[in-house]
Amino acid sequence: MSAKLLDVTADEYHAIEAFSSSTAKIVLERSPGHARIGLKKKPTKSLDGGNIIHRLLLGKGKGFDVIQHGDYKTKAAQAKRDAARDAGLVPVLAHEMEGYATAAEAIRVQLADRGIVLDGVSEQAITWVEKTPHGDVLCKGMMDHVWPDVGIILDIKTCEDASQAAIERAAEKYNYAVQSTAYSRALVALDPDLAGRVAFSFAFCETSEPHAVNVTEPDGPFQELGLRRWLRAVNIWAECAARNHWPTTYGANVNPLSPPSWALAREGFTADER
């Protein structure tokens, strides 16, 4: 694998045509056809808040535009909000900024309490090549914060609930195992001496008071799960590219639709009937 660090903006990064952990998630959960066209995320208050906190905390990332209105009920406020979106910025009402600034500072302090000082490189883009039986696949990633020389990666996830049970559910839902694998392999591609030495951590940070932070490190099973999924997705992508065939169906057969086990249990179905 060969790799290259890039000095690009977020928009320039997203314009790079390459395979990513986000693409892998769509390949595995939907289809290669869906992944090829990409699935855009619609703006939500939660997503906007996460982007703003990222920017305040890391100094890089999606920019924001402070809207000097109390809400978006007027046409003037709506016009400024829409103009910000069109410019690639996150619109934020002026009275909400104090809360985001408080959250970012609280998170920074709690990271420092754990010995984590953000003195590496923020929003570092990287490209690397994965080799498969079907040909090479150019991959890309953008690490929230990284110390490339020593192989340390910190990924910050904003959330409402950073309890262990909640983040384990989120990690599976959003396929964070694939992301940690992809980024770790990218650093090894950049410096093969880091093989077996990359330290990857997630910092799950609550956006509401008291802005609790839960820093976690993938264990052995988590890493193995991510590796298997990542390699499977990369191989599927490479095969589709080699054949120039991007299936979008969910199989050629008629698929059965089964009720969930809890619904059957609620209606008194026995174990044999299920």
Assigned domain for 110 exists: yes
Assigned domain for 271 exists: no
Q: Compare 127 and 88 and report the one with higher pLDDT.
A: 127
Q: Of 59-68, 103-112, 213-222, which range is least confident?
A: 59-68
CATH of the domain at 224: 3.90.320.10
Assigned domain for 51 exists: yes
Assigned domain for 258 exists: no
Encode burial over 159-192: b for 16+ CB neighbours within 10 A, e otherwise.
beebeeeebeebbeeebbbbbbbbbbbbbbbbee
pTM across the whole model = 0.88
Assigned domain for 186 exists: yes
Can you tell me the mean pLDDT for 192-212?
A: 96
Q: What is the 3-state secondary structure (H, E, C) of the chain?
A: CCEEEECCCHHHHHHCCCECHHHHHHHHHCCHHHHHHCCCCCCCHHHHHHHHHHHHHHCCCCCEEEECCCCCCCHHHHHHHHHHHHCCCEEEEHHHHHHHHHHHHHHHHHHHHCCCCCCCEEEEEEEEEEEECCEEEEEEEEEEEEECCCCEEEEEEEECCCCHHHHHHHHHHCCHHHHHHHHHHHHHHHCHHHCCCCEEEEEEEECCCCCCEEEECCCHHHHHHHHHHHHHHHHHHHHHHHHCCCCCCCCCCCCCCCCCHHHHHHCCCCCCCC
pLDDT confidence tier of residue 98, bands split at 50, 70 and 90? very high
| pLDDT higher than threshold 90 for residue 39 | no
Q: Nearest CA to 56 among 125, 108, 113?
A: 108
Tell me how many degrees the CA angle 20-24-28 measures, rounded to the nearest 5. Answer: 175
Assigned domain for 30 exists: yes
**Arithmetic mean of pLDDT over the chain:** 94
How is residue 47 written in tokens? 């997503």
Assigned domain for 69 exists: no
Assigned domain for 240 exists: yes
Q: What is the pLDDT of residues 111-151, one digit of tens each?
A: 999 999 999 999 999 999 999 999 999 999 999 999 999 99
Q: What is the pLDDT of residues 7-30, one digit of tens each?
A: 998 889 989 999 999 999 999 999
Beta strands at 152-159 and 135-147: parallel, antiparallel or unpaired: antiparallel
| Owning domain of residue 131 | 3-62+102-249
Q: Compare 186 and 251 and report the one with higher pLDDT.
A: 186
- The count of domains in the chain is 1
| pLDDT higher than threshold 80 for residue 1 | no
